[in-house]
Structure 1
Amino acid sequence: VITRHGKPAGVLIGFETEDDWLEYRLENDPRFLQRIAKARTSLRAGKGVRLEALK
């Protein structure tokens, strides 16, 4: 518990793994989310390469 002037002000919760921390950061990064949205739009428009085609 984080206190301010002796009163509870917040709770600090850690991440179980570094991967969990990275996932949280990406899920809350507006730039990353914009890139994902742009990529999905491109895929819906028929642009891009299917993963199966790369094998």
Structure 2
Amino acid sequence: MNTDDPKKIEETVGKLRKVSHQFDALNFSLDVFLSEIDEEIRKNSIVALRLQANRSV
């Protein structure tokens, strides 16, 4: 990459920002998904009992 070309630098920065925003959106979606899965696991009585048993050890 030619660092002397301001237009090319601006294009690259724009692309990197776009990718960064996409990763932010993906991370948010994964956080929501994981919290939903965690809630479902805790609702399952067998899993809840196993978690309690492991905490008391």
TM-score range, shorter chain: 0.3 to 0.5
Give the number of the structure with larger relative contact order, counting CA–CA contacts within 8 Å between residues 6 or more apart: 1
Q: Which has the higher helix share?
A: 2
> Could you tell me the TM-score, scaled by structure 2's length?
0.35
Q: Which has the larger radius of gyration?
A: 2
Q: Greater strand share, 1 or 2?
A: 1
